[in-house]
């Protein structure tokens, strides 16, 4: 049976939620990440009005203020963003039981075999977009293709409120029609190195052999490029086993090198995973980390302790400690992922520890007031 995937991406999500909740911000450059005048901190999301001034995610706030002095700078409200994300994900589940949420603002929907219920995938995508707008007030961009990788690229081509369908059998033609800059997963250093070797188009990559690409970019990088321009699945998009783990990951448009940008990215991922753990009443003693560098090399690590992760703050501190233990300093980061592994039902009783270290109190406080905890971040 032919696979059919939708990749659905909420447009400028954090900024769009702020504009939805605050009508006075609509049509204006909104920059989420911190207050005006902050010397530290980075942009989490910029509205399309702000992007017109060159503002982008992971940019230092002080630089964003220079580029867009009239911008509306907001610290962010993670709990509210997760509320709206949950509204959207609930709609997705009406279309397919196979939803792979990879971050707070994007997910894959496997529509394989649903044509008899919903009709052609393109019509389903249009109906989905309309329903999300009517029920949540938000817009999404959707890509439709036979692989997740191609669907991911397609969803970004006609933003905002876009729809791009890549017909089955046309994946390679689609990839070869794109400029190098649209090769999702290839960062600025990879693009510069491609040009250094006279590789200026996706077709130029297609014309190079796998051994040649691997001699330039290494085994992982060469294989990625070889598969990407052919429309093959170039990312693993690790499917988690729900009964064993929950995770979130994000691939960044710009290589992350600044420690502030990296920590902000990790914190946002921790929020996404912890929000799901609370909602699904799960607990875990094991945190997991995934790092993909600018050369496409990928490393994973995990840390298990005697006590459960007790709060967003605890989760973030464990992930951060693991990151700086494993990070190859100076290497640009293309992708970050965090997760909780070996999860179990938190409602099931467990033998009491002799010393609680204040965890029970912290966990109860977290559950009763997770909103205020999330918004502090």
Predicted pLDDT of residue 369: 41
pLDDT band at residue 348 under the 50/70/90 scheme = confident
CATH fold, domain 5-11+79-168, is Alpha-Beta Plaits (3.30.70)
pLDDT digits (tens, 9 = 90+) for 228-279: 999 988 666 655 544 488 999 988 878 888 888 899 999 999 999 999 898 8
Average confidence (pLDDT) over 34-56? 92
The residues annotated with a catalytic role in the active site are: 106
Roughly what angle, to the nearest 10 degrees, separates helices 259-279 and 78-92? Answer: 60
| Spatial contact of 307 and 281, defined as CB atoms under 8 Å apart | no
Cβ burial of 91 (10 Å; 0-12, 13-18, 19+) is middle
Q: Would you state the pLDDT for residue 239?
A: 56
Average pLDDT, integer, range 312-318: 94
- Rg (the chain; Cα; Å): 21
Instruction: Give CATH 3.30.1490.100 domain extents, the chain.
Output: 245-376
CB neighbours of 229 closer than 8 A, spacing ≥ 6? 172, 175, 176, 183, 202, 203, 205, 206
Please state the pTM of the whole predicted model.
0.82
pLDDT at 280: 86
Chain-wide mean pLDDT for the chain?
89
Question: In the chain, which segments carry CATH 3.40.1170.60?
Answer: 14-77
- Does 361 score more than 50 pLDDT? no
The DSSP symbol for 221 reads H
Kindly report whether the peptide bond that precedes residue 241 is cis, defined as omega within 30 degrees of 0: no
CATH 3.40.190.10 fits 245-376, yes or no: no
C-alpha 54/C-alpha 196 separation (Å) is 26
> Which of the following CATH numbers is that of domain 14-77: 3.40.1170.60, 3.30.420.40, 2.40.50.100, 3.90.1570.10?
3.40.1170.60
Domain 172-228 maps to which CATH number in 3.40.50.2020, 3.40.50.10490, 3.40.50.300, 1.10.150.20? 1.10.150.20
Higher-pLDDT residue of 308 and 376 is 308
Sheet (strand 163-165) strand order: 99-103, 106-110, 5-10, 140-145, 163-165
Report for 47-56, 219-228, 305-314: range of highest mean pLDDT: 47-56
């Amino acid at each position: 049976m032919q696979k059919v995937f939708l990749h659905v991406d909420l447009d400028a999500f954090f900024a769009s939620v702020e504009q939805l909740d605050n009508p006075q911000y609509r049509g204006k450059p909104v920059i989420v990440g911190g207050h005006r005048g902050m010397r530290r901190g980075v942009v989490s999301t910029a509205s399309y009005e702000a992007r017109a001034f060159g503002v982008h995610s992971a940019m230092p706030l002080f630089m964003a203020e220079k580029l867009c002095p009239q911008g509306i700078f907001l610290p962010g409200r993670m709990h509210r963003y997760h509320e709206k994300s949950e509204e959207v994900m609930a709609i997705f589940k009406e279309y397919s039981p196979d939803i792979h949420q990879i971050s707070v603002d994007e997910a894959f929907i496997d529509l394989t075999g649903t044509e008899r219920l919903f009709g052609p995938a393109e019509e389903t995508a249009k109906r989905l977009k309309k329903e999300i707008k009517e029920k949540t007030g938000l817009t999404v961009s959707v890509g439709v293709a036979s692989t997740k990788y191609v669907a991911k690229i397609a969803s970004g081509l006609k933003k905002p409120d876009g729809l791009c369908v890549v017909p089955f059998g046309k994946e390679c033609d689609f990839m070869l029609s794109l400029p190098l800059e649209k090769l999702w997963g290839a960062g600025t250093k990879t693009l510069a190195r491609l040009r250094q070797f006279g590789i200026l188009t996706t077709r130029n990559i297609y014309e190079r052999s796998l051994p040649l690409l691997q001699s330039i970019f290494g085994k992982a990088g060469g294989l990625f490029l070889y598969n990407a321009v052919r429309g093959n699945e170039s990312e693993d998009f690790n499917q988690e086993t729900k009964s064993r783990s929950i995770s979130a990951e994000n691939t960044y448009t710009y290589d992350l090198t600044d420690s502030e940008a990296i920590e902000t990215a990790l914190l946002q991922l921790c929020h996404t995973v912890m929000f799901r753990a609370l909602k699904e009443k799960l607990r875990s003693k094991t945190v997991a980390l995934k790092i993909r560098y600018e050369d496409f090399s990928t490393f994973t690590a995990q840390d298990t302790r005697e006590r459960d992760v007790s709060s967003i703050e605890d989760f973030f501190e464990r992930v951060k400690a693991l990151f700086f233990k494993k990070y190859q300093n100076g290497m640009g980061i293309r992708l970050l992922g965090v997760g909780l592994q070996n999860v179990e039902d938190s409602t099931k009783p467990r033998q009491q520890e002799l010393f609680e270290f204040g965890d029970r109190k912290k966990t109860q406080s977290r559950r009763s007031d997770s909103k205020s905890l999330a918004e502090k971040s």
